[in-house]
Chains A and B, each alone.
Chain A
Amino acid sequence: MCAPTNARKEEVMAVWLQVDPRSPTPVYQQIVDGIKAAVAAGWLKPGDRLPSVRDLAVSLAINHNTVAKAYQELERSRVIEVVRGRGTFVANPGQRPPPDVEERMERLRDTLRLAWIEAYHLSLAEDAFEEMFHQARDAARGAEGKEEM
């Protein structure tokens, strides 16, 4: 990220949070995914303040109800928290588990099982698959991007 440090958060966010209204993924879901990814990569840290619904909507030039829906979803899954009168912040992970934690764990197990099945049919050796698994982890953690920050 080469945004100047004094740039407003919503301006910085608008740089990496790009939405494509023509994509089959709903725009609010793209925002949810984008913010979750940014938190996992460490671009957004617990306690960081997020732009208001209004400011993010204006900077991305999208409808504010769409951003509001994304924020609601992120709040429900405990990625962000809204402090009345103060703003919206990145939540502390693990402080309060998301309400649907069991269901999401189950989905994660399914995803991993499907990945193993796919690896088998690609004749991928176990260690090569594990290597791929670690590369995916580094990509999600934003390992390359972090050194530049």
Chain B
Amino acid sequence: MEAILSVRELSKRIGKNTALSAATLSAGEGSVHAVLGANGSGKTTLLRVLAGLYRPDEGEIVWKGSHIHPWDQPEWRAEVALVDPVISLPTRFHLSDWVRYTARVYPRFDAHRFRGLVRSLELPTDERIRRFSLGMRMQAKLALALAMRPRLLLLDEPTTGLDPVVQRQIWQWLLGEAADAGTTVLVATHDLGDMERLADSATVMFNGRSIWSGQLEDAKERFVKISVRPEGKRALDAGGCALTWERDSGDRWSAMVERNALPHLMARLRDAGAEPAVVQERLPLEEWFRWLMRKEGYARDMDGTA
């Protein structure tokens, strides 16, 4: 898939914090790209830079082959929509008034579509947004964003506060949008289970950096988990294989390795007279993600062994 969006080496300091540090990613047209990462890893900042809310200190953004500067290109506003749980709707407005305002600002705003979405979400348009629950506000933001018919849809934790029924409905709309209009969707989320079914590709962020980026199917193909007895772990450690181990139940240790490193590791085990490793393929995304985090030194376990 050819990339419609490429972000290269994007950096941004906010106050004393380095929110983004050479973040890099690319997403294909009409794809759903997951931006994954621990809390505070820079996901929100990245989305806000793309939406034009922040000006980055360094780096470049390429959209459809051209360099863009979302922060000082008003015309970019017509291409992009950001749904963010923190940025609030004007609470004194009725939803219907706010829609009229939005329709003037966004040239592609589709009022007919908005009415359809609001109807199927059963949102009241004649009440002040102040009276909306957290979930209703999120739904209103999503309906507004979809009605803007953006080319790039940026979603920051879009299912926050939504029940599973509405969550599924929202995802189905987003999938339909990506399939019909070729809208490219970037989703910053912690929900790996959802992303496993919805996303084509992903970027994993840690401390403002992107530590992995690619097709999710490749991640599943390329990494396998090995499980060995303690003597196997000793043999591999002594052989200079820098693996990030995790203690399994019983006396086994496991580590994630690249598939093409397997023959080498197996040979090492054989030479050391250790039992061969048990290999597990195509791990759930969650396990793969946890391992990536652990490799970066990020773990919150009961026993604290990292």
Contacts and interface: CB of A to CB of B under 8 A. Distances in A.
Interface of A: 19, 21-22, 24-27, 53-54, 57-59, 61-65
Given A22-B196, A22-B284, 14 more contacts: A21-B193, A21-B196, A21-B197, A26-B217, A26-B220, A26-B282, A58-B175, A58-B179, A59-B172, A61-B168, A61-B197, A64-B30, A65-B1, A65-B200
5 contacts: A22-B284, A26-B282, A54-B179, A63-B32, A63-B198
A70 to B, nearest CB: 12
A147 to B, nearest CB: 33
Q: Closest 3 CB pairs between A and B?
A: A21-B196, A54-B179, A64-B179
A63 B193 contact: no
A20 to B, nearest CB: 9
A57 B284 contact: no
B179 A61 contact: no
B197 A27 contact: yes
B199 interface: yes
Contact of B176 (A19, A26, A54, A65): A54
A58 B172 contact: yes
B180 A63 contact: no
B281 interface: yes
A64 B178 CA distance: 8
A62 B281 contact: no
B298 interface: no
Contacts of B44: none
A143 to B, nearest CB: 32
Interface in B167-203: 168, 171-172, 175-176, 178-180, 193, 196-200
